[in-house]
Amino acid sequence: MADYKAPLRDMRFVLREVFEIDKLWASLAGTRDSVDVETADAILEQAAKIAAEEIAPLSREADEHGSRWQQGEVVSPPGFKAAYQTFAEGGWCGLGGNAEYGGMGMPKTLVAQVEEMVQGADMSFGLAPMLSAGACLSIDAHASEELKDKYLPNLYSGIWSGAMDLTEPHAGTDLGMIRTRAEPNPDGSYSLTGTKIFITWGEHDMAENIIHLVLAKLPDAPAGSKGISMFLVPKILVNDDGSLGQRNSVACGSIEKKMGIKASATCVMNYDGARGWLVGERNRGLACMFTMMNYERLGVGIQGLGAADASYQNAVEYARERLQSRSPEGAKNPDKAADPIIVHPDVRRMLLTMRAFNEGARAFSTYVAKWLDIAKFSDDKVDIKHASGMVALLTPIAKAFITDKALETTVIGQQVFGGHGFIREWGQEQLVRDARITQIYEGTNGIQAMDLMGRKTVANGGEFLQLFVAEVEGFIRANSDSEALAEFIRPLSAELDNLQRVSTTVIEQARQDPNAIGAAAVEYLHLFGYTVYAYLWASMAKAALAGIEGGDADFYRAKLAVARFYYGRLLPQTKALSAHILEGSGPLMALEAELF
C-alpha cells in the first residue's frame, strides 16, 4: 500500500496555470489583502505534511477498530484524538472561517485543496472538520451576534466541533416530514424533543464540546418544509462567560454499523427537552441549511476525489512493481521473470481512466470553488449574481458526477491489484467502501440529478445553462485559431452543441410529460459532467502547451497525454447518454408497478 502523498504539483498547476488564481484573488475585495500565491504555497505544503504524517498513517487501523459506543459515549479510534488536536492547534479547523471570529478567512479555491488532502488521507477523520465547517457557515450567516460571539471562536479553533442534525428515521430527502419539536422557553431558549439519525460525529471524545445544528418544528409551524426552523443545541451548555456548564439533555443512543467510513461515528441522537437557541428566522430553517449546502455538497465531491486519488496512488505504485507476463511488444525487463503490469494495454487503460477522472475532478472542484469565492468575496453585484447562478447550476454536478466517477475509480484501482485488491492489507477495498457513501449522503446522487434537471434547467428554461454555455463559447472563440488546440476545441464545440440540443428537448418534453424530468435526470447530469470535464481538460491542455517550453516538460507532456485519452476514450460516452435521454420516459413507465 503506497503512502499517501498530496498531489501538490497538480494542485499548483490548476490554481496558478489553469485558473490564474493570483489574478482572481487580487480582483476580489474580500481576498486581495488576505492571501497570495506565496501564502497559499506555505499553507499547501504544511497541509500536505499533516495529511501524510499525522492522518494517513492512522487510516487502516482506524477502519479496523472503528469508533466505539459505550453507555452513550463514543470513543474515537486510536490516534484520532491526538491527530485532531494537532490539526486543530494548526488552525486548520478555521481555515475558511470568518476572520472576525477567529477564522483565517481563506478562499474556497485554496480550502478545497486542503480538504482534498485531508479526505485523501482518511475520509472518516476528514468528516469531523468538514461538519464543523458546515455548521460554522450556517451560524456565521444566520445566527445572532450573541450566538456568533459565543460559539464561533471555539468552533474555528477546534476546541469545539460541530454537527448537522437533519435526518429522522422517517424523514430523509423529505425533511418537511420531520417530527422533532421545539417548545419556546420564557428565557428565549427552546426545549427540543425528538430523534435524529445518521448524524456524523454527533458524539465523540476529540473535542471538549459538540455544537449541534438541529432542524425542528415550532408548535405553530406551518405544515411541510415551510415549517422548519434551525436551532443551535450544544452537547454541554455554555455559560455567559464562555465556560462550560452542565450537560444538556442530548445523548447518543447508538452508532451505526456501516459498509464504510467505519472510523467515524454515525450516531442516533436523542433530544429530551434539550435546550437550544434559534438560528435565523422562525420557520426559515431550510434557508439556513442551504447556506452551507453548496459548500458541503462540493465538499462531498472532494471527499470522493480524495479517496479516488488515494486509490490511484496505490494502483500506479503496484502496477510499476507487480511482475506478471511479458509486454505484447516483447520483454521490457529481460533480466527478470516477467514485466511489470504497467506495460499491458488494459492496465494502462485502467490507470489512465483513473487519472483522467481524478485530474478532471480536481479542476472541476476548483472551478466551482472559484464561483463560490466570487459570490462570497466580490463587491460587484453583477458578478455576484452571475457567480451565484453558476454555483446553483454546477453544485449538483460537482457532488454527483465527481462521486459517481470516484466510486468507479476506486473500483478500477482495486481491479489493478487483481486478487490482492480484494484483500484488506492493500487498502483498496477500504477506499471502495468509503467512497460509496459519497453517492448517498448530503442528498443522494439521484436527488442531485433531479435538482439539476428540474429546478436548475427545466424550471428556468435553461437560464443557468446559458451562463455556462456563454463561457465555453467564449473559450472556443478565443482559441479557434490555435492549431495546437484544434484537437480539443472542435470536439468541445460539438459537445456543447449536443448539450444544448438535449437540454432543449427535455425542456420541451417536460411541458407534456410529467415523468420527463425524472426519466432524463441521471443521464443528463452525467452528460453535463462529461461536457464540463471536456471544457476543463481543454483548458488544462492550453495551460500545458503554454508551460511545456518553460521546463518541467514531463509534467506537461503527461498532462497532454491524459487530455487526449479523455477526449478519445471517455468523452464519447456522451453519445450513449444522449440516446438514453432522447428516448424519453416511455420505456421506464410502460411496466405496471405490480409487475416488478
- The DSSP result for 190-248, as a single string, is EEEEEEEEEEETSS-SSSSEEEEEEEEB-TTPPSGGGG-EEEEEESEEE-TTS-EEEEP
What whole-number distance in Å separates Cα of residue 300 and Cα of residue 288? 19
End-to-end CA distance of the chain: 44
Is 442 known to be catalytic?
A: yes
User: Going residue by residue through the chain (596 aa), what tens digit of pLDDT does each one get?
Assistant: 789 999 999 999 999 999 999 999 999 999 999 999 999 999 999 999 999 999 999 999 999 999 999 988 999 999 999 999 999 999 999 999 999 999 999 999 999 999 999 999 999 999 999 999 999 999 999 999 999 999 999 999 999 999 999 999 998 778 888 999 999 999 999 999 999 999 999 999 999 999 999 999 999 999 998 999 999 999 999 999 999 999 999 999 999 999 999 999 999 999 999 999 999 999 999 999 888 888 999 999 999 999 999 999 999 999 999 999 999 999 998 999 999 999 999 999 999 999 999 999 999 999 999 999 999 999 999 999 999 999 999 999 999 999 999 999 999 999 999 999 999 999 999 999 999 999 999 999 999 999 999 999 999 999 999 999 999 999 999 999 999 999 999 999 999 999 999 999 999 999 999 999 999 999 999 999 999 999 999 999 999 999 998 889 999 999 999 999 999 999 999 999 999 999 999 999 999 999 99
Taking the CB of residue 317, how many other CB atoms lie within 10 A of it?
A: 14
Helical (H) or strand (E) element with 462: none
Q: What is the DSSP string of 271-301?
A: EEEEEEEEESSTT-HHHHHHHHHHHHHHHHH
> Cα-flanking dihedrals φ and ψ of residue 231, to 5°?
-130, 145
What was the pLDDT predicted at 176?
82
- Name the active-site residue from 116, 168, 442, 523: 442
Q: What is the DSSP string of 119-174?
A: HHH-HHHHHHHHHHHHHHHHHHHHS-HHHHHHHHHHHHHTSEEEEEE--BTTBSS-
What was the pLDDT predicted at 535?
99
Give pairs for 489-494: CB < 8 Å, separation 24+: 489/538, 491/534, 491/567, 491/571, 492/534, 492/535, 492/538
What was the pLDDT predicted at 190?
98
Q: What pTM value is reported for the model? A: 0.97
What was the pLDDT predicted at 293?
86
* Cβ atoms of 146 and 95 closer than 8 Å: no
Give pairs for 236-241: CB < 8 Å, separation 24+: 236/208, 236/209, 237/275, 238/150, 238/151, 238/209
Taking the CB of residue 592, how many other CB atoms lie within 10 A of it?
A: 7
What whole-number distance in Å separates Cα of residue 106 and Cα of residue 35? 7
* Residues near 505 by beta carbon (within 8 Å), at least 6 away in sequence: 581, 582
What was the pLDDT predicted at 528?
99
What whole-number distance in Å separates Cα of residue 64 and Cα of residue 417? 21
What whole-number distance in Å separates Cα of residue 440 and Cα of residue 216? 23
* Residues near 386 by beta carbon (within 8 Å), at least 6 away in sequence: 374, 467
C-alpha cell belonging to residue 289:
441549511
Buried b (16+ CB within 10 A) or exposed e, 143-168: beeebbebbbbbbbbbebbbbbbbbb
Pairing relation of β-strands 160-165 and 209-216?
parallel
* Residues near 136 by beta carbon (within 8 Å), at least 6 away in sequence: 94, 97, 98, 103, 152, 155, 156, 162
> Cα-flanking dihedrals φ and ψ of residue 458, to 5°?
-65, -45
Taking the CB of residue 477, how many other CB atoms lie within 10 A of it?
A: 11
Helical (H) or strand (E) element with 465: helix 463-478
C-alpha cell belonging to residue 224:
411541510
C-alpha cell belonging to residue 490:
472542435
State which amino acid sits at residue 389.
G
* Cβ atoms of 151 and 225 closer than 8 Å: no
* DSSP symbol at 323: B
* Cβ atoms of 527 and 491 closer than 8 Å: no
CA distances from 351 to 333, 356, 588 (A): 20, 9, 35
What was the pLDDT predicted at 172?
78
Buried b (16+ CB within 10 A) or exposed e, 332-351: eeeeeeebbbbbbeebeebb
* Cβ atoms of 362 and 439 closer than 8 Å: no
What was the pLDDT predicted at 431?
98
What whole-number distance in Å separates Cα of residue 334 and Cα of residue 314? 25
* Angle, CA of 481, 484 and 486, to the nearest 5°: 60
